[in-house]
């Protein structure tokens, strides 16, 4: 007898933002009662941002504001829970209280040496909270659901804030934890975004990493299909918050999805696609506002043709590097520069070199660029241009490219047969017409 097919669903913060939203999600899940379903949840609404503020305050030495902010979050959480259940189930209140107390305890000690470590111990709270609430609510709504701690499943190295998944261990752990719960006739509900090291310290997988968590579970469990439930009808030709006249793409290849998400199409976390592609598991991006809509299916290439698609990545910096002694950059320096790029974890989106200078366009995250510049200072002169946008157009036409450039200063351009990329000075967020 073949095991029954299994599906993986991921619900993001927007779909769980308040009590009515969680009720709506339970309504969607009712349609799947009795199926083998693994559900991955993000933190509710903007919880992760709030916890980032807490982490910054605590590590910056402002413990009181950190406590204050955390207690506001605790109160807001209990209000949502009250609205959701009427009377809060005592086990849930106790479970949530334990989670908040575990973070308050961190505040009793001074910050550790590593901001990234402290960040993960604090910010992971968001998914732990939301998963407890949603699991309790599904059980309350008559959908038997087992709560699973993703930290017992996803093993990472100790790169805090960007944990690297240790695949063979993770595969073993998921395969021993999940199937028995499904066999017991329950949905399995767990957290996105978090994992743990071999020493059981909590790690996170990078902002918006819940999609990736869902892909990890899908891969390890050989899912039939993975769905990401979002507040848009599917993958669109551009971000509707920035552009008018966007349209939905019904089908897309893995490769196309990787290209677009890597360059800032924020619809899916870029690491999500690869594990699915390796096992030919289709990914469906669908709308929780229109649960019967077909969304976008991302699967193997079927010779599809695409309209022009635009991704805009903000907070980019152009780092121009030249040698102090006027030697050519390419001669022996490239390897050295790449080594420093790796150690400072600069995320490079574009590179170009001329005889005496080397240009990299990178995500401007915390103090990485400054640390890089310091490391290379002795041999290289660097200049940094910040607050830029990287615009990537796949399947571009010259018309679309021209319309993107209009009214902006372009600092760099790269063209490949299907793709054009330009680095421009950021302009205020205004709707641009006709994509």
| Residues lying near Mg ion in the complex (CB under 5 A) | 12-13, 42
Judged by CB under 6 A, the residue of 6, 9, 12, 202 near ligand ASP is 12
Tell me the window of 25-33, 41-49, 260-268, 275-283 that interacts with ligand ASP (CB under 6 A): 41-49
Query: What is the footprint of ligand ASP within residues 67-126 (CB under 6 A)?
Result: 126
Judged by CB under 6 A, the residue of 13, 45, 234, 270 near ligand ASP is 13
Q: From residue 163, give the alpha-carbon distance in Å to each of 40, 46, 136, 146, 275.
A: 18, 22, 28, 25, 16
- Residue number, nearest CB to Mg ion: 12
We find the least distance from the C-beta atom of residue 191 to ligand ASP, in angstroms, to be 9
- Residue number, nearest CB to ligand ASP: 210
Measured from the CB atom, the residue of 163 and 192 that comes closer to ligand ASP is 192
- Please report whether residue 17 would count as binding ligand ASP according to CB under 6 A: no
We find the least distance from the C-beta atom of residue 130 to ligand ASP, in angstroms, to be 8
User: Which residues, 6 or more positions from 392, have their beta carbon under 8 angstroms from its beta carbon?
Assistant: 259, 260, 263, 264, 310, 311, 312, 313, 419, 420, 421
Q: Which residues pair with 195 in a beta bridge?
A: 203
We find the least distance from the C-beta atom of residue 229 to ligand ASP, in angstroms, to be 12
d(CA 200, CA 296): 37
Binding partner of residue 192 among ligand ASP, Mg ion, none, CB cut-off 5 to 8 Å per kind: ligand ASP
Binding partner of residue 193 among ligand ASP, Mg ion, none, CB cut-off 5 to 8 Å per kind: ligand ASP
Query: What is the footprint of ligand ASP within residues 314-373 (CB under 6 A)?
Result: none
Measured from the CB atom, the residue of 42 and 80 that comes closer to ligand ASP is 42
Binding partner of residue 48 among ligand ASP, Mg ion, none, CB cut-off 5 to 8 Å per kind: ligand ASP
Q: CA 434: distance to chain centroid?
A: 28
- Please report whether residue 48 would count as binding ligand ASP according to CB under 6 A: yes
Residues 205-244, mask of contacts with ligand ASP (x by CB under 6 A)? --xxxx----------------------------------
- Please report whether residue 285 would count as binding ligand ASP according to CB under 6 A: no
Measured from the CB atom, the residue of 205 and 221 that comes closer to Mg ion is 205
Summarize as ranges the residues that interact with ligand ASP (CB under 6 A): 12-13, 42-43, 48, 126, 192-193, 207-210
């Amino acid at each position: 007898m073949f095991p029954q097919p299994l599906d993986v669903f991921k619900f993001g913060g927007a779909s769980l933002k308040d009590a009515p939203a969680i009720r709506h999600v339970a309504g969607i899940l009712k349609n799947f009662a009795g199926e083998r379903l693994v559900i991955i949840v993000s933190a509710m609404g903007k919880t992760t941002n709030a916890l980032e503020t807490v982490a910054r305050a605590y590590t910056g030495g402002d413990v009181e504001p950190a406590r204050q902010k955390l207690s506001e979050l605790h109160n807001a959480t209990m209000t949502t829970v009250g609205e959701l259940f009427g009377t809060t189930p005592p086990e849930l209140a106790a479970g949530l209280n334990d989670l908040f107390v575990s973070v308050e305890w961190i505040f009793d000690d001074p910050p550790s040496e590593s901001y990234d470590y402290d960040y993960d111990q604090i910010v992971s709270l968001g998914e732990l909270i939301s998963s407890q609430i949603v699991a309790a609510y599904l059980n309350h709504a008559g959908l038997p659901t087992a709560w699973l701690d993703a930290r017992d499943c996803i093993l990472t190295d100790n790169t805090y804030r960007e944990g690297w998944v240790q695949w063979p261990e993770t595969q073993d752990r998921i395969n021993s934890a999940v199937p028995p719960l499904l066999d017991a006739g329950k949905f399995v509900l767990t957290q996105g975004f978090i994992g743990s090291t071999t020493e059981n310290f909590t790690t996170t997988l990078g902002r918006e990493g819940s999609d990736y968590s869902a892909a990890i579970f899908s891969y390890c469990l050989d899912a039939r299909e993975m769905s990401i439930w979002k507040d848009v009808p599917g993958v669109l030709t551009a971000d509707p918050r920035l552009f008018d006249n966007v349209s939905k793409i019904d089908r897309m290849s893995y490769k196309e999805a990787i290209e677009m998400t890597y360059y800032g199409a924020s619809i899916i976390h870029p690491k999500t696609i690869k594990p699915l592609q390796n096992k030919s598991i289709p990914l469906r991006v669908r709308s929780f506002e229109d649960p019967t809509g077909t969304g976008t299916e991302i699967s193997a290439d079927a010779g599809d043709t695409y309209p022009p698609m635009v991704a805009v990545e903000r907070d980019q910096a152009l780092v121009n590097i030249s040698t102090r002694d006027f030697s050519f950059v390419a001669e022996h320096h490239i390897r050295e520069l790449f080594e420093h790029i790796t150690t400072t974890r600069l995320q490079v989106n574009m590179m170009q070199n001329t005889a005496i200078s080397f240009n990299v366009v990178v995500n401007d995250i915390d103090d990485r660029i400054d640390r890089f510049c310091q490391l290379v200072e002795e041999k290289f002169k660097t200049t940094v241009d910040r607050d830029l946008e990287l615009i990537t157009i796949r399947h571009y036409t010259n018309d679309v490219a021209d319309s993107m450039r209009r009214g902006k200063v372009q600092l760099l351009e790269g063209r490949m047969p299907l793709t054009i990329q330009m680095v421009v000075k950021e302009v205020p967020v205004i709707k641009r017409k006709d994509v």
